[in-house]
Chains A and B, each alone.
Chain A
C-alpha cells in the first residue's frame, strides 16, 4: 500500500493503510475481537485479543446530536476508491463503500459477497452476493453491478492507467485492456472478463495470482453504483500529471453501499463529513454524523483529543500513549502486520562475510528498541515477516543480544576496526518505524559498543528509497506494511532474486521462495515458506528488528471500534457512551 511519508512532525498520512490480508475464510491469527488496552508491551499477544472493555453504555442522545470527530494524519485524495492507494483515502472510503470480501482481524470474511468459490486452477472466481443490498442512490446490488465495476476498471484509458492513480488495480491485474504506452504499464492484463447471473458475479483471469482472493478486500476495489459509473463514463484523465476529476473531489456523484453516506468534503477546512445510511444492509451505524478532520502534527492531534476538540485519532506517538492512558483515554492496541529491518548490503566489504553479519546481529539490542521506543504491542522480529502469516517459522536461526559474542566474531573475522556507513530517513515516520532517528541512535550505539565505528548518513525520504535500492548504503533501516496475508508480499518482494539493495546471490534462498510461491497446496506451501524463512535467516541478508502496531487513541466517553492490524477500523461500531 502506498503510504504518504510524512514529515516527522506530521506523522504519517497513510499509515493507516496498513495491509490487506487474505486467506480463505479460515486463515490466520486468532478469531475474536481486537482491542483491549494493554498497559505495557509485555505479555502482549501479536494477534487480535478479546476485547475487555465490556458492553458499552450507549448514549443515544449524544449519538444523534453530536458529530463524532476523528483526527486523521492526512487528507484523503479521492472519493473514487479505485483512484487512490493511500490509507487516509481508504479510511474514509471504507465507511462509504464496501468490498466483495472484508477482513476481520487478519482473517478474510464475507463482505458484499456472502461466499465465493474458485475453480481448481484459480482462474474463475464466483462471488455470491448478499440479497437486499441497495446503493445509496437506491439502485439494488446485483452481479451486473459488480461486473460493471470490473469492466470499468479494465477499460480505463489514458491517465486513469497511471500508477499514481490506479496502483493497486494494475498491481493486482497486471494491466488494462489496452495499455497506454505513455503510462508505462508494460505487463499484460490478466483480467478476461466478468459475467453476471442474478446475484452471482464470476471473474475470469488468464492465470492464477497469489493476490486472490485477498485482493478483493482492497479498498481500491470497492464496488460503486452502476448509475454512478454511468454518470462518470465520459470523464477522462488526459495525463499522469493531470488533476483528479472533479467528481472525486466533491460529494454527490458516487454512491456506495456502506454504513455511511458522504455529506460534504470541505477542502479548506480539511474536513470530510459522513452521515449515517439508515438503509444499510448490516448493523446500522450508531453515531449519526461522522467527521474526519486532518491534523497533520502528531502532538497537535493528542492535544486536540485532550482538549475535547476531537474524539479519537490515529497514529498516536509512542511517547503519548502512556500519558493518554494515564489521563483516562483509551489506546486499544492493534495487532501487528509490518516489519522493520536493518539491511546489510553485501558488496560493501566485509558485509559479504557471514561472520561479520552475524557479529553485527548479535550486537543489536532489539529488545530495548521494542521496550522503550516502539508503541505498546510491538515485538522483536525473528524473521522477515510478522507472526500472523502462515509460514512463520519457530526454528529460524536467532541472534540474541550479546555484545561480547559480537566482539569475538568480529575478531574472528578480522574486522575489529570496522567502519560502516549507516543510512536512515529523516523526514518521515512509518507505521513500522515511528521514530527512525531514535532507532538509528540505539542501533548505532550498540554497534559502537561492539567496536564498530558508525558513520551516520541521514537521507530525506524522497531520496531514501532510490539510494538504498541502488546499494549505496552498507547499513540502512527500512520496512514494510503488508498488502496481503501472502508471505510472498514480504519475502518475495525482497529475496526472490538478486538485487542491488541486498547485494547477495544465494540460489538456496531464491529457490526456496520460488518453490513456496508456486506450490498450490496450502499445507505444503506453509511448510515451504517456513523453509524459506529459515534459509533467509541462515543467509542473514539483514537483521529483522521488530513488528509494531501504529497506535490509535479515543476519548474516555467513546466506545471505540474494533481495532484492526490492517487499520481497517469500521466506524459504524463507534458510539458515545454515558458515564466515563
Chain B
C-alpha cells in the first residue's frame, strides 16, 4: 500500500466533498433549503408575516378607533349612500360610519386570533384522541385494540357529520360570540387531527427503529413519548397550518349564517364580510375589502402549509 501523500488529490477530494455537502446536509436543513427555494413557501411566508405584523401592531397603525361611528351621519344605508375612499378614510366608511381602513387593520388581530385558537383547539384535542387511540392500539394489547376501535369508529362517524353542521350546533349551544366561533370551528377539526396523528403514529410504530427499540426492551411508554410522537408530528403540524386557513374561512361562513362574532367592540373580517353581504349591490367595496383580506390570508397559510407538506413528504421528494 503506497502511502505517498498526493497533495493535489487531497485538494480535489476536498473540493468534491464540500460541493456535495452543500447539496445535502441534514434532512431538516434540506427541507428548509427546499422551502426557501419554493416560490410557494416564500409567497406564503411573506403574506403570513405581513398579516401577523398587522395583527400585532393593528391598533397602533390604525388611524382611527375602528368602532367609533365618527361619520355616522354621513352614511345612509337605506338610501344607498356609502362614502367611498377619500383622503381621511382611505377605504371609505362602513355602513355605520366607521373608518373601514382602521377596521381592516384592527380586524386582522381578531381574525388571526380566531384562526389560531380554533386550530389549537382542534390540534390539541385531536392529538390527544388520536394519540391515545394509536398508543392503545399499538401497545395496549387486546383491550387497547378495542379502545382504539371504539375511538376511531367514533371519529369516523364524527367525520360523517358535515363540519358546518357540527359548528352550527356548537354555535347554537353556546350562543353567538367570538369564543363560540373558535370552539365551533375548532371542534369540527378534531376528528381530522385525530385521524391524521393516529395514522402517522401507526406508520412510525411499524418502522424499523421502533421495532428495534421494542426488541431491545425499551419501555413502551417511553417509545411512544420519546420516539413515535415526535416523529409523527410533522404532518400534523403541516395540517395545522392548513387548518388555520380553513378556520378563518369557516369563521366567515358561521358569521354569514348569523352565528359569528357579534361583538361590535372588535371588528373581525369574517363578520365584516358577512355583514356586508346585505349591501353587495350598493356598496360592494364593504364586502370586497374583508373578502380580499380573508382570501389572501388564507392563501398565505395554505401556500406555506402546502409547501411545507411537499418539502416534508418523502414521496414527493423522491421525484426531484
Direct A–B touching, Cβ under 8 Å:
yes
B281 touches A320 (CB 8 A): yes
B72 contacts the other chain (CB 8 A): yes
A373 touches B77 (CB 8 A): yes
B225 contacts the other chain (CB 8 A): no
A326 touches B75 (CB 8 A): no
A7 contacts the other chain (CB 8 A): yes
Which single residue of chain B is at the shortest CB-CB distance from A317? Answer: B278
Which of B121-129, B252-260, B292-300, B306-314 is the interface stretch?
B252-260
With A426-B259, A456-B263 known as contacts, the answer to whether A319 contacts B77 (CB < 8 A) is yes
A9 touches B78 (CB 8 A): no
The proximity string for A residues 417-441 relative to B, scoring 1 for CB distances below 8 Å and 0 otherwise, is: 0000000001100000001011011
B278 touches A456 (CB 8 A): no
B262 touches A7 (CB 8 A): no
A318 touches B257 (CB 8 A): no
A59 contacts the other chain (CB 8 A): no
B83 contacts the other chain (CB 8 A): no
A9 touches B72 (CB 8 A): no
Which of A252-260, A286-294, A457-465 is the interface stretch?
A457-465
B264 contacts the other chain (CB 8 A): yes
In whole Å, how far is A551's beta carbon from the nearest beta carbon of chain B? 9
B85 contacts the other chain (CB 8 A): no
Which single residue of chain A is at the shortest CB-CB distance from B263? Answer: A456
Interface footprint category on A: 35 or more
B69 contacts the other chain (CB 8 A): yes
Give Cα A259–Cα B257 distance, bound, in whole angstroms.
39
With A319-B78, A460-B172 known as contacts, the answer to whether A299 contacts B280 (CB < 8 A) is yes
B77 touches A372 (CB 8 A): yes
Report the tally of A-B residue pairs with Cβ distances under 8 A: 101
> Which residues of B in the span 48-76 have a Cβ within 8 Å of any Cβ on A?
67-69, 72-73, 75-76
A84 contacts the other chain (CB 8 A): no
> Which residues of B in the span 126-178 have a Cβ within 8 Å of any Cβ on A?
172, 175-177
In whole Å, how far is A266's beta carbon from the nearest beta carbon of chain B? 27
A302 touches B265 (CB 8 A): no
Cross-interface CB contact of B80 among A9, A322, A437, A460, cutoff 8 Å? A322
Give Cα A302–Cα B277 distance, bound, in whole angstroms.
12
Residues of B within 8 A of A326 (CB): 80
B96 contacts the other chain (CB 8 A): yes
B281 touches A463 (CB 8 A): no
Give Cα A371–Cα B73 distance, bound, in whole angstroms.
9
Residues of B within 8 A of A319 (CB): 77-78, 80, 95, 278-279, 281-283
With A320-B282, A441-B69, A460-B176 known as contacts, the answer to whether A426 contacts B262 (CB < 8 A) is yes
A299 touches B278 (CB 8 A): yes
A445 contacts the other chain (CB 8 A): yes
B282 touches A460 (CB 8 A): no
Give Cα A442–Cα B282 distance, bound, in whole angstroms.
20
B79 contacts the other chain (CB 8 A): yes
A470 contacts the other chain (CB 8 A): no
Cross-interface CB contact of A442 among B72, B79, B265, cutoff 8 Å? B72
A374 touches B175 (CB 8 A): no
Interface footprint category on B: 20 to 34
Residues of B within 8 A of A318 (CB): 77-78
Which single residue of chain B is at the shortest CB-CB distance from A320? Answer: B281
Residues of A within 8 A of B80 (CB): 319, 322-323, 326
Residues of A within 8 A of B177 (CB): 458
Give Cα A377–Cα B145 distance, bound, in whole angstroms.
69
A450 contacts the other chain (CB 8 A): no
Give Cα A426–Cα B69 distance, bound, in whole angstroms.
21
A397 contacts the other chain (CB 8 A): no
A321 contacts the other chain (CB 8 A): yes
Give Cα A40–Cα B80 distance, bound, in whole angstroms.
11
A469 contacts the other chain (CB 8 A): no
Residues of B within 8 A of A320 (CB): 281-282
In whole Å, how far is A190's beta carbon from the nearest beta carbon of chain B? 40
In whole Å, how far is B276's beta carbon from the nearest beta carbon of chain A? 10
Residues of A within 8 A of B282 (CB): 319-320, 322-323
A427 touches B258 (CB 8 A): yes
A19 contacts the other chain (CB 8 A): no
Cross-interface CB contact of A459 among B69, B175, B257, B279, cutoff 8 Å? B175
B76 touches A9 (CB 8 A): no
With A8-B258, A9-B277, A317-B278 known as contacts, the answer to whether A368 contacts B78 (CB < 8 A) is no
In whole Å, how far is A379's beta carbon from the nearest beta carbon of chain B? 13
B256 touches A9 (CB 8 A): yes
The proximity string for B residues 205-249 relative to A, scoring 1 for CB distances below 8 Å and 0 otherwise, is: 000000000000000000000000000000000000000000000
A110 contacts the other chain (CB 8 A): no
In whole Å, how far is A424's beta carbon from the nearest beta carbon of chain B? 8
Could you list some 19 contacts between A and B, CB below 8 A? A7-B257, A9-B257, A299-B280, A317-B278, A319-B77, A319-B279, A319-B282, A322-B78, A326-B80, A371-B76, A372-B79, A375-B78, A376-B78, A426-B176, A426-B262, A445-B68, A445-B72, A445-B96, A460-B176
Q: Which residues of A contact B (CB under 8 A)?
A: 7-9, 40-41, 298-299, 302, 317-323, 326, 368, 371-376, 426-427, 435, 437-438, 440-442, 444-445, 456, 458-460, 463
Name the 5 nearest CB pairs between A and B, nearest first: A322-B80, A458-B262, A318-B78, A427-B258, A8-B258
Extra inter-chain contacts (18) besides given A427-B176, A459-B176, CB under 8 Å: A299-B278, A302-B281, A317-B278, A318-B77, A319-B80, A319-B278, A319-B279, A319-B283, A322-B81, A323-B80, A372-B73, A372-B78, A373-B78, A376-B79, A427-B257, A438-B95, A456-B264, A460-B176
